[in-house]
C-alpha cells in the first residue's frame, strides 16, 4: 500500500476512492491491519503540536475526531473497519495528549482525565518507522528519542516508580532526562540492557547486523548481558566514547573524532567514512526504502567514503559509479550493483 494514501487518509485529504482502496487493503490480512495501525501511531507522534495544549484545544480535537467517525459510519459496507480506525486514532490522540500536555487544575478537569485513563485500552506504546522514514518521540519522562528508519521502540504509557524500561531495535538517538533515582533501562534485540541516568547517546542495533554500536556523547552508560535468571555487567563507557559489541560479546572501544559522529542521520545527513560496502548497502536500503542486490561479491569488500544530504538514491548511485568501479541498474525500487 502506498504510504502517501495512508497519510492523506490520516490528514483528512484522501478521496473516497482512496479511502475505499485503503480499507479494502487493510481488511485483507492481519498483517495489513497491523501495518496501518503502526502508521497511525507514527503519524500521530509526528503531528502532535510542540506547545502545551489546553482543555479548550482538547475539546476541539475530540469533536473533530468524533465528527470524522460519524461521517464514516454512514458507509455500511466498511462500517466496522472505519469505526475501528477512527477509534484507534481517537485513543492515540487521547493517550499522547494526556501524558505529554494535560495537567488537570480543577475537579471537573481531573474527572475528565480519569475518564480518559479508564478508556485507555488501545496501546500507543509501540512505534515503528518503515524504511525511508524517521520520527521524533517524546517519552513520558520528557526524554527525547530520534528514531531512524526501520526501527522500533516500545515503552509504557507511564514509567514505573523505580525504573524507566524500554525495548528497542534499530537505530536511535537518545537524549535522556536526568533522574538519579530512576534509571532508564533499554533492552535491545541482541540480549543487551543499557542502564542510563541522564545522557545523550546513539544506539545502532539492527536485527540483521552482526554487532551493536553505542556512541556516547555525554554522561555514562552501563551495558549488561541479559540471560534467563541472570544479568551481568559487560562494559561501562563514559563521555565521548564508542562501544562496539560483536559476536560472543567481544568488546572494542574508541574515541569520537567529532562531536556528531554516528548521529549525523538525525539531521538528515548520510555519512560514510571508509565504510564497508556491505554496510553502505544496508544503510541505503533503510534510508531510501529500496532493495539492493549484488551481482559481483567483490563489491562487498570495497570501502566507501562520502557525505550526502538531500540526494535521491539515483544521485547517490551516480556518485558511486563515478568514483568507484561499481555500476548499477534500477528497476522500480530494486537496484542491482555490478562491476564495470
Same domain membership, residue 136 and residue 47: no
The CATH code of the domain that includes 208 is 2.60.120.1440
pLDDT in the model for residue 13: 77
Give domain status of residue 161, yes or no: yes
Containing H/E element for 148? none
pLDDT for residue 15: 82
What pLDDT, on the 0 to 100 scale, is given for residue 179?
92
Beta bridge partners of 330: 335
Q: What is the CATH number of the domain that holds 273?
A: 3.55.50.30
Domain that holds residue 105: 3-118
Same domain assignment for residues 250 and 131 = yes
With respect to residue 58, please indicate whether it lies within any of the assigned structural domains.
yes
pLDDT of residue 308: 95
Residue 140 lies in a domain: yes
In a domain, 261, yes or no: no
Alpha helix (H) ranges present in the chain? Answer: 3-10, 16-26, 30-47, 55-72, 79-100, 107-118, 277-288, 313-323
Among candidate residues 55, 86, 118, the one where a domain is terminated: 118
Residue 11 and residue 46 in one domain:
yes
Same domain? 142 vs 238: yes
Whether residues 153 and 236 fall in one domain: yes
Please tell me the distance from the alpha carbon of residue 244 to that of residue 202, in angstroms, as a whole number. 12
Ranges under pLDDT 70 in the chain: 1, 30, 33-34, 37-38, 40-124, 228-229
**Is position 282 within any domain?**
yes
Residue 84's nearest CA partner among 30, 154, 17 is 30
* Residue that finishes a domain, picked among 222, 255, 288: 255
Task: Please give the tally of structural domains in the chain.
Answer: 3
Is 264 inside any structural domain?
A: no
Indicate if 134 and 251 belong to the same structural domain: yes
Confidence at residue 112, expressed as pLDDT on a 0 to 100 scale:
40
Q: Which residues of 60-90 are buried (b: 16+ CB within 10 A; e: fewer)?
A: ebeeebeebbeebeeeeebeebbebbbebbb
Query: Given this model, what pLDDT does residue 20 score?
Result: 77
Q: What confidence score (pLDDT) does residue 220 get?
A: 93
Both 39 and 114 in one domain: the answer is yes
Quick: pLDDT tens for 125-171. 789 998 888 999 999 999 999 999 999 999 988 888 899 999 999 99
Q: Of 198, 201, 163, whose CA–CA distance to 177 is shortest? A: 198
Decide if 262 is inside a domain.
no
Tell me, yes or no, whether 236 and 301 share the same domain: no
Residues 25 and 140 in one domain: no
Q: Are residues 149 and 241 in the same domain?
A: yes
- Measured CA to CA, the distance from residue 4 to residue 13 in angstroms comes to 10
pLDDT in tens, 246-291: 877 789 999 998 999 999 999 999 999 999 999 999 999 999 999 9
Q: Domain check: are 243 and 274 in the same one?
A: no
Amino acid at each position: 500500500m502506498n504510504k502517501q494514501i495512508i497519510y492523506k487518509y490520516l490528514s483528512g485529504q484522501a478521496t473516497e476512492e482512496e479511502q475505499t482502496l485503503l480499507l479494502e487493503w487493510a481488511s485483507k490480512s492481519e498483517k495489513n491491519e497491523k501495518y496501518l495501525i503502526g502508521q497511525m501511531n507514527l503519524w500521530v507522534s509526528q503531528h502532535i503540536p510542540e506547545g502545551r495544549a489546553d482543555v479548550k484545544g482538547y475539546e476541539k480535537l475530540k469533536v473533530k475526531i468524533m465528527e470524522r467517525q460519524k461521517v464514516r459510519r454512514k458507509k455500511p459496507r466498511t462500517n466496522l473497519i472505519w469505526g475501528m480506525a477512527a477509534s484507534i486514532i481517537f485513543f492515540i490522540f487521547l493517550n499522547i495528549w494526556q501524558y505529554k500536555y494535560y495537567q488537570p487544575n480543577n475537579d471537573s478537569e481531573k474527572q475528565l482525565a480519569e475518564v480518559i485513563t479508564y478508556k485507555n485500552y488501545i496501546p500507543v506504546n509501540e512505534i515503528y518507522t518503515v524504511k525511508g522514514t524517521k520520527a521524533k518521540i517524546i517519552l513520558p519522562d520528557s526524554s527525547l528519542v530520534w528514531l531512524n528508519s526501520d526501527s522500533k521502540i516500545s515503552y509504557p504509557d507511564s514509567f514505573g516508580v523505580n525504573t524507566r524500561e524500554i525495548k528497542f531495535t534499530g537505530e536511535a538517538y537518545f537524549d535522556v532526562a536526568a533522574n538519579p533515582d530512576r534509571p532508564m533501562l533499554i533492552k535491545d534485540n541482541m540480549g543487551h540492557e543499557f542502564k542510563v541516568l541522564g545522557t545523550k547517546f546513539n544506539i545502532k542495533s539492527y536485527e540483521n547486523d552482526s554487532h551493536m554500536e553505542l556512541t556516547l556523547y555525554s554522561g555514562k552508560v552501563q551495558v549488561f548481558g541479559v540471560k534467563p535468571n541472570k544479568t551481568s555487567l559487560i562494559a561501562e563507557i563514559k563521555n565521548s566514547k564508542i562501544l562496539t559489541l560483536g559476536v560472543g560479546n567481544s568488546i572494542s572501544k574508541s574515541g569520537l573524532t567529532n562531536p556528531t559522529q554516528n548521529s549525523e542521520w538525525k539531521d538528515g545527513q548520510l555519512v560514510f567514512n571508509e565504510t564497508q560496502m556491505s554496510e553502505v548497502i544496508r544503510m541505503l536500503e533503510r534510508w531510501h526504502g529500496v532493495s539492493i542486490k549484488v551481482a559481483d561479491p567483490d563489491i562487498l569488500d570495497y570501502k566507501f567514503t562520502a557525505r550526502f544530504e538531500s540526494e535521491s538514491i539515483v544521485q547517490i548511485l551516480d556518485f558511486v559509479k563515478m568514483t568507484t568501479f561499481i555500476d548499477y541498474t534500477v528497476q522500480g525500487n530494486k537496484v542491482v550493483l555490478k562491476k564495470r
